[in-house]
Amino acid sequence: MPTLLLIDGNAIMHRAYHALPPFKSADGTPTNVVYGYLSMLNKVITDFKPDYLISCFDTPRPTFRNKLFKKYQIQRPKIEDEFIVQIPLVKEALDAAGIERLEKDGFEADDLIGTITRIFETNKFRIIILTGDKDIFQLITDNVFVAAPQLGLANIKIFNSSEVEKKLDVSPNQIIEYKALAGDPSDNYPGASGIGPKTASKLIHQLGTVDNIYKNLDKINSEKIKTILEKEKENVYLSKKLAMILTDVDINLDIEKLKFKGFDKKLKDFLEKYQMDSLIRRIFNQRLNTKKEEKKKSSDQIGLF
């Protein structure tokens, strides 16, 4: 089964920015985001050996979620200038490396990832999504996995359905229902005020979906919970729309261009320009692992496949 590696560009850039010190190139250009992003990219390519590869990005324009809910993500702090100036540099590095990237005004990277995932899954691919964003857990199926960086950029944990259930007490296909009830503080949408994660997962285990919960309020023993659900119905259904990753965005995708045959040598020129010598050594002069090391890495990283 061929493998597609999907990179959540903004999530990995943010992870790099907060995981690494604010170092710069000789001309004063901040480079920690670029360095961290490319380090992680090189690591997952080495570990998972994808046949196809693409990175998706948000755009600065409002999305349909902002139009649905004016306070969507409004609590998030302003992005710092030293981060902003590196976004085009990351994209320049990907272009130099010969790696496809995609963004579309009005949609989040999650929606592009969801759409590409379903296209490739239909064509019998294994899909690995690199992200630190738990929202993407809802895309997990038997052939779709999430690779989530742990402790900065050093380690990666693979999430399949059973790992998601251990972490959230709901299955991937129940996450939208779960977030409709519990809300999401990180994206600033409400859910049902007064219903927390434990109650949300209990209701889902009992009745399955938001629709079914509202059809069977009489089966809920707690009068308090019933009252909350009745009062918060509009917020619950709004939150469900906000939580749902789209899988049918209209995109132009040439699958042949996603084929990955190694980093283009133009990336080396880019890395030299910004004095990223350690990355040049890693990417273009990488020492081969011993058989013992390769066997251990393979076992650690793809044992769940």
Domain assignments of the chain as residue spans, ordered by start: 3-160+246-294, 168-243
pLDDT digits (tens, 9 = 90+) for 81-130: 999 999 999 999 999 999 999 999 999 999 999 999 999 999 899 999 99
Strands (DSSP E) along 151-271, which ranges? 155-159
pLDDT reading at 220 higher than 50: yes
Q: What is the C-alpha separation between 151 and 154, in angstroms, rounded?
A: 6
DSSP assignment of 46-69 equals HHH--SEEEEE---SS--HHHHH-
pTM above the 0.85 mark?
Answer: yes
Note whether 32 and 20 are within 8 A (CB). yes
- pLDDT value of position 290: 38
Note whether 129 and 135 are within 8 A (CB). no
Domain 168-243: give its CATH code. 1.10.150.20
Q: 3-160+246-294 adopts what CATH topology?
A: Rossmann fold (3.40.50)
